Structure formats: C-alpha cells, structure tokens
Chains A and B, each alone.
Chain A
Amino acid sequence: MSGLFVHTWWMSHRRLKALLRNPGLVVMTLVQPAIWLFLFGGLFRKVAELPGFGAASYVDYLVPGVVVMSAVSSNMWSGMGVIDEIERGTLNRFLVSPVSRSAILNAGVIEQAVSTAVQSLIIILLGRLAGASYPGGVLGVVVLVVASILLGAIFSALSSTMGLLVRQRDTIIGLSVFLLLPLTFLSSAFMAKSLMPSWIQNVAAFNPLNWSLDTARGALAADPDWQAVAVHGGWLLGLAALMIWLSTSSFRSYQKSI
C-alpha cells in the first residue's frame, strides 16, 4: 500500500513537473476562455436583459459555461499524451519496472485534476476581471471547480481510452472536433435553460457538460440549490467513475496487445 502511495506520488510529480516546465502552454490554453469571456461576453451583454433569463449580468452567467467548456477542451487531448508515451516507449519502461500499474493510472488522474483545477481557477479570476460576481461565494466557486474536474475526468478518460485502444492521433483530434462545440451548444453554457428550444432542453438533460453546469450554477447562486448540486453532481461523479474504470480496462487491453 505504501508502495502504491510512494509510486503514485513520484509518477504524479513527474507529470506535474512537466506541466510547470511549460507555463507558455497554460497561457495558450487561456486565450480561448479569455475570448469567450471578454469578446463573446461583451458582444452578447444584452442577452441578460431577455425576459426570463434570470441572471444579474451575462458575464456572471457565462463564467461557469466557459470554465466547464475549457475543462472539456483541454482534457480531450490527454489521449495525445498517452500515444506519445506509448510511441516513445516510456510507458513500457514503467511497465517493466516495479512501479504499480495503479500508480501509473493514478498519476494521470491526479495530473488531470490539478491542471483542470488551476485552469478553472484562473478562468474564474479572469471572469472577475471581466466584471463577474459569484454570489455563492467561496463554496460556490469550489463546487464549480470540482464539477469541472469531474467533467474533465470524464473526457480525459475517454480520450485516454481512445489513445490506448486506437493509438491514432487523428482519432483524438476528431474526438475534440466532433464533441466540444456540440456539447457546449447543447447545454445551458451560453443561454438560460428556459429560453432554449425544447429539443435542446431535452438533449441537454443527457449532456454531462450540462450536468456540471447545473451543479455549479446551483452552488453559485445567491440562494444555492443544494439538491440540484447533489443530483447533478452525483451523475457527474458516477459517469467519471465509470469512464475511469473504462480507461483502466483499456489499459489492460493495451498490455495484452504489446
């Protein structure tokens, strides 16, 4: 057990060090969210005045949408890292060492969680600069960050699974191209649920990105709706667990294919 802990620690250390080595990449990944917040948010400022929209300002409304969208967007690439490590032989080097298999997988999840948390917090701060307020306070912000981590975990695991099974970069790119915008627009990221066409409302009910928004907005409201947080957060947690289990078993199938 202590072996697993130590190995998880050092394997995560390696991953996080790689993140730190590349701060430019972090800045790059923040360009898009900044555009959504400042330009898109500015352009559609009057949306909040629509009758029944129900938010004090559009930027207030937009921040959770941009946070979860960015979480999906950056985590969809984790399959690329998996393919790199397979092709370079790095993964196999770890597999012939005494490092426990779970530690390798844990490190991936931990890296994903930490980087998503950092990214989300920065976007929340950017939102502040754009004039957003978070009536739910610190607790609301924490729930938003946790929801984006869980959502990120779902797509990171999906992408890693693809990386392990298909081992083609095109597939990962395709995943991102085909999923990101539809998932975002088929949710309440940019438009209040009550004002969406009913078919989109129906589809959104099955969209994990939308679950994360319901979770986050429930907690960020001046009068938090903890029941909505629990229900949608629960769905999110369940799906994240399922996806991580799936990527674990695809890891096993990778080992069989070596």
Chain B
Amino acid sequence: MQTTAMNAVEADSLVKTYPGGVKALDGLSITVRPGEVFGLLGPNGAGKSTTIKILTTLARPDSGTATIAGHAVLSRPDRVRRVIGVVSQRSGADPMASGRDNLVLQARLYGMRGAELARRVAELLDRFDLGDAAGRQVRTYSGGMQRRLDVALGLVHRPRVLFLDEPTTGLDPEARAAMWEEIARLAGDDSLAILLTTHYLDEADRLAGRLAIVDGGRVVAEGTPEGLKAELRGDAVHLELREAPDEQRVRSLIGALPGVREIVFDGRRLSARADDGAAAVPIAIAALDQAGVPVAAVTVARPSLDDVYLRHAGRRFAQTDEPVAAGVGGAR
C-alpha cells in the first residue's frame, strides 16, 4: 500500500565483516516505511548497532546497498546526514559541557542560527524536561536525563528518520517508562520514521509497529508484533525438568501427545506449543512421570515475542549465548 511514498529506510543485503573475521552482518535487509516505528530486536552481537552504523553513514558495508528517504547511503552520505537523527548506544553528549551548550552546538552544526536556534533549543529543553538542568554539566545528569538529552540532540534539526540504538538500556524502570512515553509521542508524528533497536521483548512489543528479529547478522523473522505472535498457533508450554533429559526419548514421548508440536530443548528446559495448553500439561506431566522424568516446574502462556524468537532462532532470547544443539528441526 505504501509503494508510492518513498520508504524511510531501505537496506538490501547488507554484509559487514570486521577485522578478525567477525561477520557482523550477513545479508541483512529491512524496509522502514514513512512515519512508522520499526523495531530491530536481537541479542548481544546480533548486528543491530552495525546496521545502524551503516545506515547512518558511520561505517561502510562490504556489500549491499541502503537508502534513507531516497538518498543512497554510500554515494550521498552528505544528504543522508541532513535527514537523519541519531541516538547511538553510547551517549555522545559532551559530559563537560552543559545540556544547553550541547544542544546549541548541535543546532549550529546543522546551520541553525539566531532566534530560530534559541527557540528550538528552548523548546527541546522544555519538552524533555531538562529546563532546570540546562545550565549544568551533563556529567551531573542522571542516566534518564542523559538519555533524554541524547534524544533531544537527535531531534534538533527535525530529522525525517530517527535512529534509536537501545534507548532504554541501563535505565531504571521509572526512567524507562518515561522514555517509552516519549518515544510513543514521537511515533505519533507522521512525518518521522523511527528505527529502534532493543534487547527487550516488551519494549519492541509495545513501541514498534513492525519489527524484525535479528540473529547472527540477518533477519530471521519480520512482521507486526501481533502478526508474529499469531503465527504461533496455540499456547506456549514450558516445562522445567529436574535433570537434563535424554532429549530423543522425551521428544518422542511428548511429540506423541495430541495437539503438541515444536518441541525445543534448552538445557533442562523444554518448550513446546499446544493447541490447548491447559489440557496438554497434565497429560504431559503424567507421561513424563511414568517414564521416570520428573518435572520441577510448569508454565503455560499465550504466545509472546520470546516464543517468536525461540521459534525462529532456535533458542530462548535471554540465553542467546548458548545455541540449542537439537530442536530447531522440530519446528513445523
């Protein structure tokens, strides 16, 4: 439906290898439509920041192409820089300067002057609730205040595409809630597209209109949070066994139960999908008990993004450092 309007971001088959052979991106492609909030969700080292660095003209890909609001990142970085706002994973504000000085310099670098500049800086200080602290050195700011300043810095020149690299990592729950509200407010502005990266499933779920799950430098799933969850028919059932199971045996045992599928092992944890979770659990526990595999804990849940992740990356989101050896093939 959006084919006529120019996409905010188009990245096609980006590949990036760092010295030492680390393949940070391995053919990543995404499209962000004008005005939408697009989430890049993935664990440490998935390639989220690398994607942002390429799209914001900081780094060059080994291969692949990208455009921002129609401007080619590789051949017209100058134009791209005028239409993007960037809030990187690391703050970027000058800690020894005041919040106001940081904003004023940023505005000057984008060519603002005089009354226009003063108005814009005042407006942002007010909007991000930094008015009282405007004259203080940024190093005296709390984590939440610093992050708000970072976002304000990214917005000074009214960009068309805003990149937010982990905007809430390291914030306490209160500051995170405030940041979420701010991002939701920004999302209401139809002329601004936002590309947001996050580790947090609930954050992506809540803020992103569409999202891509990134793993190992490529997109493993893409869609709306609702759509991705809907793909997983049925409930998620997680069983925690008392000891590491004989996977083959338990798989055939559970797999034989009616309406149960997509069995994935992760150490002592076993996850599966069931048409009716509440009905499947007692049968499963009984069957396991009989086979001498005692169950320590059980949870049944409506599908979450975590389950989406598990399905596509073959491992749980939180423990992504240890891939699950078996189990991926069990899906579908």
Contact = CB atoms under 8 A, between A and B. Distances in A.
Contact of B19 (A87, A93, A257): A257
Interface string B86-116: 1011111111110001000110111100000
A90 interface: yes
B66 to A, nearest CB: 14
Contact of B110 (A90, A98, A258): A98
Interface in A1-49: 6-7, 10, 13-14, 17-18, 21-22
A82 to B, nearest CB: 14
A94 B82 CA distance: 12
A55 B94 CA distance: 48
Contact of A90 (B59, B89, B92, B101): B92
A99 B19 CA distance: 28
B57 interface: yes
Contacts of B94: 14, 18, 88, 90
A93 B165 CA distance: 13
Nearest to B108: A10
Contacts of B111: 98
Contacts of B280: none
Contact of B56 (A94, A96, A255): A96
Interface residues of A, number: 25
Contacts of B108: 6, 10
Contacts of A90: 92-94
B92 A93 contact: yes
A89 B91 contact: yes
Contacts of A257: 19
Nearest to A3: B111
Nearest to B52: A96
B19 A98 contact: no
Nearest to B87: A93
Given A88-B91, A94-B109, A258 B58 contact: yes
B78 interface: yes
Interface string B56-100: 111110000000000000000010011010101111111111000
Given A93-B92, A94-B109, 18 more contacts: A10-B109, A13-B105, A18-B96, A21-B97, A88-B90, A88-B95, A92-B88, A92-B92, A93-B86, A93-B88, A95-B58, A96-B58, A96-B81, A96-B84, A97-B81, A97-B110, A98-B82, A98-B109
Q: Which 7 A-B pairs have CB atoms at the shortest separation, nearest pair first?
A: A89-B90, A93-B92, A89-B92, A96-B56, A96-B86, A99-B109, A258-B59
10 contacts: A14-B94, A18-B96, A21-B96, A88-B92, A93-B86, A95-B57, A96-B84, A97-B106, A255-B58, A257-B19
